[in-house]
Structures are given as structure tokens and as C-alpha cells.
Amino acid sequence: GAVVSQHPSWVICKSGTSVKIECRSLDFQATTMFWYRQFPKQSLMLMATSNEGSKATYEQGVEKDKFLINHASLTLSTLTVTSAHPEDSSFYICSARAVTSGLDGETQYFGPGTRLLVL
């Protein structure tokens, strides 16, 4: 159990376009999902916390109008990188915290990540 998927796994796009990344909890419900970004040779950095049915909470320095987050259901959160630029090229990873009984409610389960390259 506790599988999180992301789609797409990689994307190459032109500068100025918008890219949507999906994060799904496949076999459990998640009221809270998290979006991280990892640049080469750096640590994962939390971008925002996504709560089902409410607005996302963004970390300091992360532009909410540029990184749009929607958490419309207990199993799906989306991150849209609007007007992407080369500096947005990174590894985007989501995680989900389980509310299903039988799973550790403290543990975040990570998706496989999405590699974004903006040309």
C-alpha cells in the first residue's frame, strides 16, 4: 500500500508555456499533499502544502501565482508551473500523508518525481 504516482514523469517545454503535474495517491486517501523541488546537488525544498478543499500554503519565496496548486479530491493534487522559464527546470516531487487506517499518519509517501526541462 501507500503508492503515490506522478504524471508526467518528465516534460520538456518551451519558455513561456505552462506545465501541469499531477500527483495521485493510488491506494489511500490524503487530505494533505506536499510539493517539493530539488535542483541538482541540492536538497529537496518544500514549495507548498496542499490541503484538500482549501488553499495551499506556500513557503517563503515561492510565488503562489506562478506555481498554482489545486487539491480537488482526497487522491489528487496538481501543480501548474505557469509561464515556465529555464530557471524553473528542476525535479518536482510530491508527497502525500495518509489518513487511511493501517498506514502511519506521520509518514509522507513520495511520488516518483517529475523532471521538468524548460528550453
Rounded CA gap, 15 and 2, in Å? 35
Assess 46 for contact with other proteins (CB under 8 A).
yes
Rounded CA gap, 41 and 45, in Å? 12
Rounded CA gap, 74 and 88, in Å? 27
Strand partners, 95: 34, 110
Nearer to other proteins among residue 32 and residue 77 (C-beta)? 32
- 19, 21, 56, 93: residue in contact with other proteins (rule CB under 8 A): 93
Stretch that binds other proteins, among 11-19, 43-51, 72-80, 82-90 (CB under 8 A): 43-51
Site size toward other proteins, by CB under 8 A: 23
What would the grid cell of residue 88 be? 524553473
- 34, 37, 67, 69: residue in contact with other proteins (rule CB under 8 A): 34
